Structure 1
Amino acid sequence: MLSSGQRHAASGSQTTAGARAKALHSLAAPKSARPFTSKASAAPARRPVAAGALPHEPPGTSTEVRISPSQAPAVSAATGHQLIFSYHQLEVPATPPGIALVDVTPQIRELVAQAGLVEGSVNVLSRHTTTAVTINENEARLMDDVRQFLSQLAPASAPYLHNDLHLRPAPENWPGGWAAWAGQEPRNAHSHLLSMVLGNTLALPVSGGRLALGTWQSVLLVELDGPRPRTVGVQLTGWAAGGAVGNAATAAPARD
């Protein structure tokens, strides 16, 4: 016969074993069979993406992002194609005054065609500290909006330390000394700032012998301190059909 203490211990052991069995059963049960305990623990339902949803819809589960299937490589060394590295410069003899945008997409497409580039990339460089390069739609009224926006972002009339020419030394060995340098030096700090904001390089993919730009995308040189003569560096890299190789241009120094 069990004593009172022994019966109490056995009862407690059975209770503990029963609790453990119930917990294990709960874990093993499928999610659909588990009891709903808290609204906060329920995952939010995914909202389907409506047809024609606005592009500025907030990111999250409502915005679907897909990766398009990759295309098979179009070229290989076995087919006689050659890997090329070809540098060129685009020249703009005179840009419009002030802030202006110049579409250089046709010239870049022409370089791709001349080089026979089939698969690769094109690196575009703004070779000045008061110009920039960007990609956007080349539409006349939008270009006016861009000019007005940039003018408001960094007004030319605002005070800038860079424009205090009387506090800046002339470059060493400048012909005519400080006075000659100061007489030709523009007060263009706003142009330098906008150049840094917009950026000076672009990398454009080439696939199937064509620039992989979107329907309304153009490559734009952004003049921020015109009028001036400007140059844009363009380097083509990748597989060229039939081993076509473009002529490398000698890079000349570029003033800001």
Structure 2
Amino acid sequence: MKIHSEKIKFSTNKNREVIDMTNEVMSVAQESNIENGILVAQLPHATAMLALNENESGVKQDLLDKLDDFAPPQAGYKHDRIDNNAHSHIKAALTGSSKVLPIIDGRVVRGTWQSFLVIEQDGPRSRRTLAVLIMGE
């Protein structure tokens, strides 16, 4: 079994934004030369999340808006006494930070409109990382 991994470094520019990381993830998959296996993408941050969805401006804004409806900023959370970002932690905890996809015949299996989207909720951040691990033959 072969294993290939890479940490993709990036920064965010806004307090809340959606960033498409699909090209970077797919480049790592291609570099791995693994024909059949699995790809694991992990965003190791407590205030951002990783989603598979369409990279379209309306969808991205809808995601940000609905996340705020679900856990609005400054809603009296206990954690806000520390650093005023409890809403970010709640969103990330319930939405998730990793994705696992199969690789079959050299292609990452994902839907036509599925892009790897990082959803920043506590930016801007100068140092974010997306870890990608690929295992297989």
Could you say whether these structures have the same fold, taking a TM-score greater than 0.5 normalized by the shorter chain as the test? yes
Match of residue 118 from structure 1:
35
Greater RCO structure (CA 8 Å; 6+ sep)? 2
**Residues of 1 paired with 2:13 and 2:58: CA distance?**
16
Unaligned runs of 5+ in 1: 1-82, 166-185, 240-256
Aligned partners of 2:42 and 2:98 also within 8 Å:
yes
Distance 1:196 1:100 in 2: 17
The corresponding residue for 2:3 is: 85
Distance 2:48 2:18 in 1: 10
**2:54 alignment partner in structure 1:** 137
Aligned to 2:81: 164
Q: How many angstroms apart in 2 are the aligned matches of 1:112 and 1:201?
A: 16
Match of 1:226 among 109, 120, 123: 123
Q: Under a length normalisation based on structure 2, what TM-score does the superposition of the two structures give?
A: 0.94
Percent of aligned pairs with the same residue?
31
Q: Once superposed, what is the RMSD of the aligned Cα atoms?
A: 1.1
Query: Could you tell me how far apart the structure 2 residues matched to 1:96 and 1:154 are?
Result: 21
Match of 2:87 among 187, 190, 214: 190
More strand by share: 2
Corresponding residue of 2:136: 238
Residues 109 and 210, structure 1, Cα contact 8 Å, conserved in 2: no
CA contact (8 A) 1:133 1:201 kept: yes
- Superposed displacement of residue 130, structure 1: 0.6
Deviating above 4 A after TM superposition, structure 1's stretches of 4 or more consecutive aligned residues are none
CA distance in 2, matches of 1:104, 1:214: 15
Q: Which structure's CA Rg is the greater one? A: 1
Matched with 1:201 is 98
Using the size of structure 1 for normalisation, the TM-score is 0.52
Alignment of 1:4-83 (within 5 A): 83=1
Helix, strand or coil for the counterpart of 2:4? strand
- Aligned mates of 2:76, 2:30 — CA distance in 1: 47
Q: Residues of 2 paired with 1:224 and 1:237: CA distance?
A: 30
Determine the C-alpha separation between the residues in 2 that align with 1:121 and 1:100: 28
Give how far 1:210 is off: 1.1
Looking at structure 1, the residues matched to 136 and 30 of structure 2 have their Cα atoms a distance apart, in angstroms, of: 13
Matched-pair contact (CA < 8 Å) for 2:74–2:84 = no
Structure 2 unpaired stretches of 5+:
none
Measured in 2, the distance between the counterparts of 1:227 and 1:130 equals: 11
Structure 2 residue 111 is the aligned partner of structure 1 residue 214: yes
Question: What is the identity, as a one-letter code, of the residue corresponding to 1:219?
Answer: F
1:109-141 superposed Cα distances (whole Å, 9 cap, x missing partner): 111111111111110111111111111111111
Q: CA deviation at 1:215?
A: 0.8
The aligned amino acid for 1:234 is V
Count of residues paired in the alignment:
136
